[in-house]
Structure 1
Amino acid sequence: MTRLSAITPSDRAQLGNHLGATRRWAREGSPDDLYFVSDLHAMTVAYNPVRLRARTNEMLAVLLATGIAPEAVFVQSALVRELGALTWVLECTCSFGEASRMTQFKQKADGQSVVRLGLLTYPVLMAADILLQGADEVPVGDDQAQHVELARDLARRFNTTHGEVFTVPRAVTPATGARIRDLADPTRKMSKSNPDAAGTVFVLDEPDLIVRKVRRAQTDNLARVRYAPDEQPGVSNLLEVLAACRGTSPRAEAESFTAYGPLKDAVAEAVVEELAPVRTRAREILTDPAELDAVRKAGADRAAERAAHRLASALRVAGIG
């Protein structure tokens, strides 16, 4: 069974990515699982090409530094030709109505003066990512479940119309993990693409910067440490972070504190300790471009080899191969 997961280099990897996804990939992944940096997905909004390339390399280095096996990772754009071909076939299988009713498209396009066509069609590219590799399961959060459902619909429709080529994937909800919120605004989740980075801890942040961000985290004026996300979102977020780093529960951690200062100190220490080995190893990898290039090439070769027969079959039965 193959599981497929991805992370988009819209900005640098942050603590929520680490605790909620990449650390779990490293700990729980099987030999057949695949993890990729979805740099093509980052092109659906305005972007800087130089920064995109740098962020892609950094994200790949972070995945490796987290402990994911080199043979399990690749960069999406290494398969740009294969994905381009399959995406076109799937776009000709998908209806405009299906694409336009994707919730993320509606949310991201709302209020924008210029909306890139790629923002509308990228769920089809995501379907191509999944179907090209023959993924059985795709671990996703609620915001991406609709896209996996589209991939399922397109796989079934193509198979019914042209012949059995694609595995019909299913979305799986990862085991309940930390729901890391922005430290400065706990009403929103921590995100690598938030315009204000004051509340975002990035994986490669220096320890002193992590400490400053945690100490400035929003709490409240209730002067009590409880895990009550609705009533005390800031304090509860700090407890979530601490529990995730320590492998405990937020409610259990709350019993150890009576004031916000000591809680913030403990959180800062735990986060610095959690991220230290990843930051150190990632920077070592980034200072050795030859090693990173070798990993990229090996990952691209493996992913292309896995995809070759499936793509050839799809093109053949669709009448163009």
Structure 2
Amino acid sequence: MVVDRIFSGIQPTGTPHLGNYLGAIQNWVNLQEECSSVLYSIMDMHSLTMPKEPAVLRQNILDTTAAILACGIDPKKCFLFRQSLVSEHAELAWILGCLTNVPRLLRLPQWKMKRASQNNEGTVGLLTYPVLQAADILLYKSTHVPVGEDQVLHLELAQDIAQHFNKKYGEFFPVPKAILSTTKKIKSLRDPTVKMSKSDPQKLATVNIVDSPDEIVLKFRKAVTDFTSEVTYDPAGRPGVSNLVSIHAAVTGLSIKEVLHQSAGLDTAHYKMVVAESVIQKFAPIRSEIKKLQEDTSHLIKVLEDGAEKAKELAAPIYQEIRRLVGFQ
């Protein structure tokens, strides 16, 4: 696979949870080692699609930055920046929005799902944020985007917009390809039929990477399994136990087969504690580094500002050419 430039982003929701780490951030760390041009953005503009108090958003931006740095993202190996500091994102989104029809946006499942939280009305921002996502990607002529399965339709929209622009104005944007995460989707510890989520009202459902060892042990002890004591992997028939196996494999780097071999003879009650201990060991150094970074706000701000400056240098000539193509100059 020839990869020229990778772009990905994360919404600033504070410190990530286990699913965020295994599904996205761990992959980001690997990709920055493999590709010479990588951009990772804190998507603060996207976060406004759901109501946020300004003080909470400001703190979430810093906490998210501290967390991904602690997880191994290196600003020397990638551009790490705040989306809103590069104004070309919003400007390009307007141009691309003028090439995108409303029925296409109305069909996207995220719109149908998230507007329910806004009295089934939804805002213009919530409807059009997939166009801003397309602008985020295309502004840098990105060739590849790491995505989870739930974002594939949004990437397909970005691909269609790129092709539409190229057809109208001449070949300009590469059509970005997906880099799908190989990690099994991490499920809620209280309802293994749905994915782990920070917004889950059940506090025991989601493991946060800054949870204390005692909190992690409690959440895994209370994890929903079934009445069979043997540890097996059967996502359809035994989703709870299979979710634990997936987590165990992901945090240790072992295969599902290796995890099952190591766990032979354990009942699920004992196995829960094995998985909890693996998670505790994985996150202990990260948790310590997050606390250290959170105490140095000025460093976090500087990292994001320096990254934005570099991202803007990359974006500016591309956007100037877009302005010329559409007739602005």
Describe how 1:180-259 pairs up with structure 2 within 5 A: 180-255=186-261, 256=263, 257-259=265-267
Give the equivalent residue in structure 2 for 1:56: 61
Report Cα offsets for 1:27-59 as digits up to 9, x if no partner. 232231111111211211222222122111111
Answer yes or no: is 1:17 the counterpart of 2:1: no
- Residue from 302, 309, 316 that aligns with 2:317: 309
3-state secondary structure, aligned to 1:44:
coil
For structure 1, the 5+ residue unaligned runs are: none
For 1:141 and 1:269, how far apart are their aligned partners in 2?
A: 27
Report Cα offsets for 1:225-281 as digits up to 9, x if no partner. 211112221111111111111111234323424312221111111001101111111
Q: TM-score, normalised by structure 1?
A: 0.94
Give the equivalent residue in structure 1 for 2:272: 264
Q: TM-score, normalised by structure 2?
A: 0.92
Give the equivalent residue in structure 1 for 2:109: 103
Give the equivalent residue in structure 1 for 2:158: 151
Give the equivalent residue in structure 2 for 1:45: 50
For 2:7 and 2:136, how far apart are their aligned partners in 1?
A: 9
For 1:38 and 1:107, how far apart are their aligned partners in 2?
A: 20
Amino acid at match of 2:43: S
- Count matched residues: 319
**Alpha carbons 1:65, 1:281 under 8 Å: kept:** yes
For 1:82 and 1:195, how far apart are their aligned partners in 2?
A: 37
**Identity over aligned residues, as a percent?**
40
Give the equivalent residue in structure 1 for 2:70: 65
3-state secondary structure, aligned to 2:284:
helix
Cα deviation, residue 108, structure 1: 2.1
Task: Report runs of 4+ in structure 1 exceeding 4 Å deviation.
Answer: none
Residues 31 and 62 of structure 1: is their aligned pair in 2 closer, same or farther, counting only changes over 3 Å?
farther
**Alpha carbons 1:102, 1:146 under 8 Å: kept:** yes
For 2:134 and 2:13, how far apart are their aligned partners in 1?
A: 19
**Alpha carbons 2:82, 2:305 under 8 Å: kept:** no
For 1:206 and 1:38, how far apart are their aligned partners in 2?
A: 27
For 2:255 and 2:166, how far apart are their aligned partners in 1?
A: 45
Give the aligned CA root-mean-square deviation in angstroms: 1.7
Residues 190 and 44 of structure 1: is their aligned pair in 2 closer, same or farther, counting only changes over 3 Å?
same
**Alpha carbons 2:141, 2:174 under 8 Å: kept:** yes
Answer yes or no: is 1:142 the counterpart of 2:145: no
3-state secondary structure, aligned to 2:229:
coil
